[in-house]
Chain A
Amino acid sequence: QQPVQSPQAVILREGEDAVINCSSSKALYSVHWYRQKHGEAPVFLMILLKGGEQKGHEKISASFNEKKQQSSLYLTASQLSYSGTYFCGTEGGGSYIPTFGRGTSLIVHP
């Protein structure tokens, strides 16, 4: 079952913050976050496995809620290089095959 990502698109100026959400109707085994530049393969950012987990560093971090049905990716003080499409990939509902959300397009302007 495909996770639901929001928002679909975000436009920021350098230095601004953004939050991207990923949610599922069922409890998940894990959530992965990826960033994809146009024409390139997705690049792994991080994985969260435990309910209540928070991970990452101060600029890019993510959380996984206690029920393991929702994750958020936090981008702080955004840089031009953060531009791209962010996908969450999830495993759950009895399956360990990653399923991806529709993606969130992030554009950072100078």
Chain B
Amino acid sequence: GAVVSQHPSRVICKSGTSVKIECRSLDFQATTMFWYRQFPKQSLMLMATSNEGSKATYEQGVEKDKFLINHASLTLSTLTVTSAHPEDSSFYICSANGQGNMNTEAFFGQGTRLTVV
């Protein structure tokens, strides 16, 4: 089946620094990828929809200048958490729909556990 690879799986960074998270579709082209954030024992909350070749669409309340999304190719989307603070510590997960189609199963990356100290 389709595979989405997310890297890194864990990262610890100092407050004020930036962290980049990569999300790759390994065997299919994903024109759209989704970035989620998950706090402990809570649901996946959509942060933004990443569209290849165009600006990402951010959900209400998500700061686009803080969470920079770049989707430069059909197989790679990146999320950069800029000037990270302890409250940004969370589990970040990307997903892409198989073959870029909606209404099909969503393939998730492994997730990235971000800890800001």
Query: Which one of A32, A39, A96 contacts B105 once the chains associate, using CB atoms below 8 Å?
Result: A32
Question: Would A96 and B103 be within 8 Å (CB), given that A41-B93, A41-B108, A41-B111 are in contact?
Answer: yes
B104 at the interface (CB under 8 A from A): yes
Q: Which of A47, A102, A103 contacts B104 (CB 8 A)?
A: A47
Question: In the bound complex, what is the Cα–Cα distance between A89 and B103 (angstroms)?
Answer: 11
Whether a CB of chain A sits under 8 angstroms from the CB of B107 is yes
- Tell me, in angstroms, the Cα distance from A43 to B104 when the chains sit together: 14
Chain B interface size range: 20 to 34
Residue-wise interface mask of A (24-63) relative to B, using a CB-CB cutoff of 8 A (1 in contact, 0 not): 0000011010100001111110010100000000000000
Judge whether A40 and B110 touch: CB under 8 Å: yes
B106 and A44: CB pair below 8 A? Answer: yes
A85 to chain B, nearest CB (A): 8
- Complex CA–CA separation, A97 to B59 (angstroms): 11
User: Which B residues lie within 8 Å of A42 (CB)?
Assistant: 44, 93, 108
- State the interface size on chain A (CB cutoff 8 A): 25
Q: Is A99 an interface residue (CB 8 A)?
A: yes
Establish whether residues A29 and B103, one from each chain, have CB atoms under 8 Å apart when the complex forms: yes
| Most chain B CB within a 10 A radius of its CB, from A2, A44, A91, A96 | A44
Across-interface contacts of B43 in A (CB, < 8 A): 2, 87, 100-103
Q: Is B67 an interface residue (CB 8 A)?
A: no
Known contacts A44-B108, A89-B44, A101-B43, then 12 further A-B pairs from the complex at CB < 8 Å, ordered by chain A residue: A34-B108, A39-B91, A41-B6, A41-B93, A44-B105, A44-B107, A87-B44, A96-B103, A98-B46, A99-B46, A103-B42, A105-B41
